[in-house]
A and B are shown apart, each in its own frame.
Chain A
Amino acid sequence: MTQHAEGELSPEVVMAEMKKNGVTHVVWLPDSETNFLYLLMEADPDLDLIPVSREGQAFSTAAGLTVGGKKPVILIQNTGMMESGDSLRGWGLSLNIPVVMMVGYRGWTRHGVNTDTAATYTERFLNAFGIQYYLVENGEDAPRISVAFEEASRTRRPVAVLVGDEYHGFNR
């Protein structure tokens, strides 16, 4: 197991949350915030990784997976989420798909001074679509991932987990 500094979000903790919530498929496009999970996910025989080349494909793929009773999670960056607006609307919201999207929060800073418009518009975008979201920055925040899964299942809607832990991870 890789050693992680106190306060960091370890990939093992995130994986544990995914397993605890019965995730069967990870629909993903690599990004710098969530790449720390990749090797762990790839090594897990119980997880099926589905790589996409444009984030909008993730929502329709996830919708199809839920038709057969599977439980996908979407792993993308905030930039791609914003590109995916119509897919989120049509394949996520209008089909009542209870999916958690773990979104790399590019540009996020705790002090609020950001120089990246990807961060500027992330929460505004989610609010415009009425998507509930939870910020996860470190291991102590990890239980919020389970909260997101419970809420997605209960409301039959997509729910976001914003991952604000850039470059602290597994592939570094």
Chain B
Amino acid sequence: MIDTADMLRAFAPHRGNSIVIPGRGGRHWTQISDQPNRDLPVGDPAMGGHASFGLGVALSLPDERVILFDSEGDVLMNMGALPTIAEKAPKNFYHFMLDNECYATTGGQPVPNAKSIEYDVIARGSGYPATYAFDNLEDFASSIEEILGQPGPVFVALKVEPEVENTPIGARVRWQTRSRTQVIDDLKVELGVEGP
């Protein structure tokens, strides 16, 4: 099992100018990122949508490398997004997935068949041309350059330690420093994007 914050710290030096959608890793990434205006920490607008959101960002900005840190709960909820990503095949899209084997934000209940799913196999079967799976930080860290050095879409499954929350949602400390709409507006300004 990998510590999510350690994994993101290992990734950070390889980020370059990538647009990063930190997904469920947002709490840590906002403390690590040195280019917040190229990040899209939109939190969890609606569970299961991050993969499709990342696809849309990648297709709309083909000259930018787009990196998503998805979760296994989100992927399970909309597994049908994987064939769409594979069909559209954005060469600039890198789909990392944090697999903590549970719904951590609701108390740590296991996802269906938590310990036996091979998400990299599912991604490969959906048509991703390159897939990886890691359960320790050392192997992941030594492979990041190779992962990001090939054309997307690439899928990377990462076994991470659960960070279970048991306090009521209303009592939790918000890690977001900007609203979701502000995050998007800041990126558009950063990239000089006009339009809707």
A residues with a Cβ closer than 8 A to B are 25, 48, 50-54, 56-72, 86-87, 89-91, 94-99, 152-153, 156
Contact = CB atoms under 8 A, between A and B. Distances in A.
Contacts of B58: 64
Interface stretch (B43-51, B107-115, B132-140): B43-51
A61 B78 contact: no
A60 B49 contact: yes
Contacts of B196: 66, 69, 71, 97-99, 152-153, 156
Given A64-B57, A67-B40, A67-B57, A56 B49 contact: yes
Nearest to A99: B196
A68 B63 CA distance: 11
Interface string B167-196: 000000000000011001001100101111
A69 B84 contact: no
Nearest to A85: B46
A98 B193 CA distance: 15
B36 to A, nearest CB: 15
A65 B193 CA distance: 12
Contacts of B40: 67
B59 interface: yes
A46 to B, nearest CB: 14
Contacts of A99: 196
Contacts of A64: 52-60
B60 A91 contact: no
Given A51-B84, A69-B194, 8 more contacts: A50-B55, A54-B80, A57-B78, A60-B51, A61-B84, A66-B56, A67-B57, A87-B46
A68 B180 contact: no
Given A52-B81, A57-B78, A57-B84, A69 B49 contact: no
Nearest to B48: A56
A69 B48 contact: no
Given A57-B52, A60-B56, A66-B60, A52 B80 contact: yes
B87 interface: yes
Residue from B45, B54, B81 with most neighbouring chain A CB atoms (10 Å): B45
B84 A25 contact: no
Nearest to A94: B45
B61 interface: yes
Contact of B80 (A53, A63, A67): A53
Contacts of A48: 59
A91 B40 CA distance: 13
B184 A61 contact: no
18 contacts: A50-B84, A51-B84, A51-B87, A56-B49, A56-B78, A57-B49, A57-B52, A61-B52, A63-B49, A65-B56, A65-B59, A66-B60, A67-B187, A68-B56, A72-B56, A94-B180, A97-B196, A153-B196
Contacts of A97: 196
B106 to A, nearest CB: 15
A89 B52 contact: no
Residue from B44, B45, B56, B193 with most neighbouring chain A CB atoms (10 Å): B56
Residue from A50, A86, A96 with most neighbouring chain B CB atoms (10 Å): A50
Contacts of A56: 46, 48-49, 78
B81 to A, nearest CB: 5
B84 A68 contact: no
Contact of B46 (A58, A65, A86): A86
B83 interface: yes
